[in-house]
Structure 1
Amino acid sequence: MTTLVIGAGGQIGRMIVRKLHESGKPVIAMLRKPDAELESLGIDIRFADLEEDFSHALTGCDQVIFTAGSGAKTGADKTILVDMWGAIKAIDAANKAGIKHFVMVSSRGAEDPDNGPAAIKHYSVCKKMADDHLLASGLNYTILRPGRLLNEPATGGFSSAMPEAKEAQIITREDVADACIYCLQTSGTVNKIYPLVNGNQPLANALN
């Protein structure tokens, strides 16, 4: 099973690509521009841009992880074009390509943007629109809705219950990367939506 990672230049995407490659799993990194680090590892790279036609990147792939994002430093226009419209285009392209499993890295608050973090409401709306499109697509999916992302090393501890206290709604980027890979390899996660934060359970229990 060959996995295409859309957003491979981002922090989570880069971790996913490296982990899959190091474990001997076929992986393709979709990038907008050259990346010396990934190229030096001998990873298969397909250059494509979410704001253009990128359907060729899915050729020969069986699974997709979508972890692309416009980033906190861009405006709402890029959030719409990348996090929402880019994701919707990726879902449609996956359908046409016969992708067997689509893992979406969404966000806390996407289930109900009116009651999510106010500062990123426009982002939560975009994530909800993308998630809803995936749910209606007919694809086998897994949607992960992680809390606020941290750069610390993986903890290996998870919870799929989003705590009420916002300061506890956190998870490391590496733990999210590990969860994405777990979902690809675990049939029990298909057609499920999981809130995701750091907790006290192993992945197999948290994503049961």
Structure 2
Amino acid sequence: MTTLVIGANGQIGRQFCELAEAADLPIRAMIRDVAQQPWFQERGIETVIADLEGELDGAFDGCDQVIFTAGSGPHTGPDKTLLIDLYGAIRAADLATERALSRFIMVSAMRAERPLEAPEKLRPYMAAKHAADAHLRVAPVPHVILKPGRLIDEPVTQRVATSLEETGGENSVSRANVAHALLHLAQARDLLNREFVLLDGERPIAEALS
């Protein structure tokens, strides 16, 4: 069955879509407008036009799980954070419940449960992630919540950690490793109602996220 990728045009989303296509994992990339389609079409990836701030329901047709890796981005204000990172995530989780999907895989953030400890500019984002995660935890749809640390653009290693104790306090993770972790989670159908912190580390992804 098909995995709907919400946030497919983002930095992590694009990397995940390429990995999924190479692994023959059926996916549908949700994008906001046709101008974003060529990149996906060139790689043979199915797309659907939908918007977290508008019509969304039809994107779920024929899908059995969702990966939510959308984000309002660093250059928007708290209004977009509320509409996309919070309300958009809640709408998507509710639709997954209504459609009786098998799983909802959420890309959240490490320490989202402590938004007041984040840098001031990040507090609305972390609060939105915290609230969206809380909604997903009590939703009927089975879930996996992935909590990456500080995102960096380093080469993939496929070696990760799931706690600061493992890394000696280093709190970063490459976007490439997040994308590979999402591929593992998308294929590991037996993982239900689990949460994982994700950092760059020394353990293979399949071992760490088990």
Length-normalised TM-score, structure 1 = 0.94
Alpha-carbon separation, structure 1, partners of 2:130 and 2:110? 10
Residue 55 (1) aligns with residue 86 (2): no
Alpha-carbon separation, structure 1, partners of 2:197 and 2:118? 13
Residue 30 (1) aligns with residue 30 (2): yes
> Which of 76, 79, 89 pairs up with 1:74?
76
CA positional deviation for 1:25: 1.4
> Which of 99, 102, 114 pairs up with 1:100?
102
1:183 touches 1:190 (CA, 8 Å); kept in 2?
no
- Report Cα offsets for 1:76-101 as digits up to 9, x if no partner: 11111100010000001111112101
CA positional deviation for 1:118: 4.1
* CA gap 1:165/1:155 in 2 versus in 1, 3 angstroms: closer
> Which of 162, 169, 176 pairs up with 1:160?
162
CA positional deviation for 1:33: 1.4
1:12 match: 12
1:114 match: 116
Root-mean-square deviation over aligned CA pairs: 1.8
Task: Count residues with an aligned counterpart.
Answer: 208
Provide the identity percentage.
Answer: 41
Alpha-carbon separation, structure 2, partners of 1:201 and 1:118? 33
CA positional deviation for 1:163: 5.1
- Report Cα offsets for 1:180-199 as digits up to 9, x if no partner: 11112224532111111001
SS of 1:139 mapped into structure 2: coil
The one-letter amino acid paired with 2:172 is: I
> Which of 44, 47, 68 pairs up with 1:45?
47
SS of 2:51 mapped into structure 1: coil
SS of 2:98 mapped into structure 1: helix
Alpha-carbon separation, structure 1, partners of 2:108 and 2:178? 11
CA positional deviation for 1:114: 2.9
Query: Which has the higher mean CA deviation after the structures are superposed, 18-27 or 127-136?
Result: 18-27
* CA gap 1:63/1:190 in 2 versus in 1, 3 angstroms: same
Uncovered stretches (5+) of structure 1, i.e. residues with no partner: none
Residue 183 (1) aligns with residue 180 (2): no
2:159 touches 2:205 (CA, 8 Å); kept in 1?
yes
Uncovered stretches (5+) of structure 2, i.e. residues with no partner: none
Query: Which has the higher mean CA deviation after the structures are superposed, 178-187 or 94-103?
Result: 178-187
SS of 2:15 mapped into structure 1: helix
1:29 touches 1:45 (CA, 8 Å); kept in 2?
yes
The one-letter amino acid paired with 1:17 is: C
The one-letter amino acid paired with 2:29 is: A
CA positional deviation for 1:115: 3.2
SS of 1:114 mapped into structure 2: helix
Alpha-carbon separation, structure 2, partners of 1:187 and 1:63? 10
Alpha-carbon separation, structure 2, partners of 1:165 and 1:197? 8
Residue 202 (1) aligns with residue 204 (2): yes
